[in-house]
Structure 1
Amino acid sequence: MKYVGEARVTPQGGPQEESATGERSTRNRVARSILDHGPSTVADLAGRLGLTQAAVRRHLDALVTDDVVAARDQRVYGARTRGRPAKVFALTECGRDAFDQSYDELASEALRWIARAAGGGAAGEAAVAAFARDRIESLAETYRAAVEAAPPDKRTEALAKALTADGYAATARSAPGRQRGEQLCQHHCPVVHVAEQFPQLCEAETEIFSRLLGTHVQRLATIAHGDGVCTTYIPNVPAAPEGPDGTEPREPPRAPHQASPKTAPRTARDPSASTAGRNPA
Structure 2
Amino acid sequence: MDHRGAGLRASAEIRNVGVVKNEVLIRTGAVASATASDGRTRDRVAQLLLERGSATAAELGACLGLSPAAIRKHLDAMLAESLVEAREVRNSGPRGRGRPAKTFVLTAAARESFPHFYDGIATAALRWIAQQHGPEGVTAFASAQVVALEERCRAALEEAGDDPMARAEALAEALTAEGYAANASTIATGGQLCQHHCPVAHVAAEFPQLCDAETEVISRLIGTHVQRLATIAHGDGVCTTHIPGIPRPTSPPPPKNGMKTATLRTNK
How far off is 1:239 after superposition?
6.4
Matched to 1:219, the amino acid is R
Task: Considering Cα pairs closer than 8 Å and 6+ residues apart, tell me whether 1 or 2 has the greater RCO.
Answer: 2
What is the CA–CA distance in structure 1 between the aligned matches of 2:34 and 2:183, rounded to whole Å?
34
Which range is displaced more, 136-145 or 19-28?
19-28
Cα distance between partner residues in 1 of 2:245 and 2:39: 46
Give me the whole-angstrom Cα distance separating, in 2, the residues matched to 1:140 and 1:172.
17
User: 1:142 matched to which residue of 2?
Assistant: 152
Match in the other structure for 1:82: 96
C-alpha distance in 2 between matches for 1:154 and 1:23: 50
Q: 2:140 aligns with which of 112, 130, 144?
A: 130
- CA contact under 8 A between 1:148 and 1:155: conserved in structure 2? no
Are the equivalent residues in 1 in contact too, given 2:190–2:248 (CA < 8 A)?
no
Q: Distance in 2 between matches of 1:163 and 1:241?
A: 28
Aligned to 1:40: 55
Provide the aligned C-alpha RMSD in A.
3.1
Distance 1:54 1:92 in 2: 22
Indicate the SS of the match to 2:146. Answer: helix
Structure in which a larger fraction of residues adopt helix:
2
> Is the CA contact (8 Å cut-off) linking 1:132 and 1:204 kept in structure 2?
yes
Residue in 1 aligned with 2:4?
A: none
| Of 172, 175, 178, the match for 1:166 | 178
Matches within 5 A, 1:1-281: 23-76=38-91, 79-83=93-97, 85-118=100-133, 124-151=134-161, 152=163, 153-175=165-187, 178-182=188-192, 184-238=193-247
Q: Which runs of 5+ in 1 are unaligned?
A: 1-13, 119-123, 247-281
Q: Quick one: which amino acid aligns to residue 194 of structure 2?
A: C
Residue matched to 1:276: none
Give percent identity, aligned residues only.
51
Q: Distance in 2 between matches of 1:21 and 1:226?
A: 34
**TM-score, length basis structure 1:** 0.67
**Aligned equivalents of 1:18 and 1:180: distance in 2?**
55
Distance 1:19 1:230 in 2: 42
Structure 2 counterpart of 1:171, one-letter code:
N
Q: Secondary structure at the match of 1:148?
A: coil
Query: 1:105 Cα deviation (Å)?
Result: 2.4
Name the CA shift for 1:169/1:29 in 2 (closer, same or farther; >3 Å): farther
Unaligned runs of 5+ in 2: 1-27, 256-268
Q: Is the 8 A contact 2:195 2:238 kept in 1?
A: yes
**C-alpha distance in 1 between matches for 2:154 and 2:116:** 31
Report the count of equivalent residues.
224
